[in-house]
Amino acid sequence: MVLDMTHYGINLHTGNMAGNIYLNFLLYSLVDFPGYALCFTIDRFGRKKIYTLCLVTGGLACLSTLFVHLYGEEDATYSYYVKMALSTVGKLGIAAAYGISYIWGVELFPTVVRNFSLGLGSVASCAGAILTPIVVREVKADSIGEDTLPLVIFGVAAIFGAICTIPLPETTNRDLPETIEDAENFQRRTKRKLDEKEYHISPTIEMMEMPRKNASATSRLSI
């Protein structure tokens, strides 16, 4: 819900920003590519760490536009560039978290309810998308301009979403839960290490090579 509201909200917020609306939208769209590219790092550093880091970074970047509005000159050119840079960083972090959520979210649910849970999450995310135009167009405050207030709301929502992920377990290099009971005990299960895979594979290779060694030894004896 938070991801859809912030991800699509920043795109919709393009019309509130100063400058060329087409260039702003192009920049917000292009930044999705490096954001989704960060998904390739989750196998090395973990789903939870990268997801939380990206969401917090995006939230803080959007929230920082409030300080530019309060302490910067409203009509100054640099204020526009700073707000645009911060909102772009915010979109980058949220786009990365958006991509990771489809990987990490599926792995959190047990097999027996995985499809249902993913569908329920998609419905909840649509509720966040419904709130997006309301936040961007209807929510107003006299002390905060329309080019800043939606970003502040998105920043607070992103940080709140990151805090909510703290109790969730890490799924990298771990056996996925099959039943409801497995999901309840998922946090306490022992993390599977990569060297354990080699431990299980190496005896198999040795067993495959044993017939070859025996055959060569037999041929030598026969000679």
In the structure, what pLDDT confidence band is assigned to residue 187 with cuts at 50, 70 and 90?
Answer: low
Do 13 and 37 have their domain in common? yes
Do 204 and 178 have their domain in common? no
For residue 133, the domain's CATH number is 1.20.1250.20
Distance CA 216, CA 212 (A): 6
**Structural domain harbouring 204:** 193-223
Total domains in the fold of the chain:
2
Average pLDDT of every residue of the chain: 80
In the structure, what pLDDT confidence band is assigned to residue 119 with cuts at 50, 70 and 90?
Answer: confident
Q: Could you give the residue ranges of the DSSP H alpha helices within the chain?
A: 2-12, 21-30, 32-37, 42-45, 47-71, 77-108, 114-133, 149-164, 180-184, 194-222
Do 62 and 122 have their domain in common? yes
Do 125 and 26 have their domain in common? yes
Do 137 and 198 have their domain in common? no
User: What pLDDT does residue 192 have?
Assistant: 47
Q: What is the pTM of this model?
A: 0.76
User: What pLDDT does residue 125 have?
Assistant: 84
Instruction: Return the percentage of the chain with pLDDT > 90, whole number.
Output: 25
More confident: 52 or 128: 52
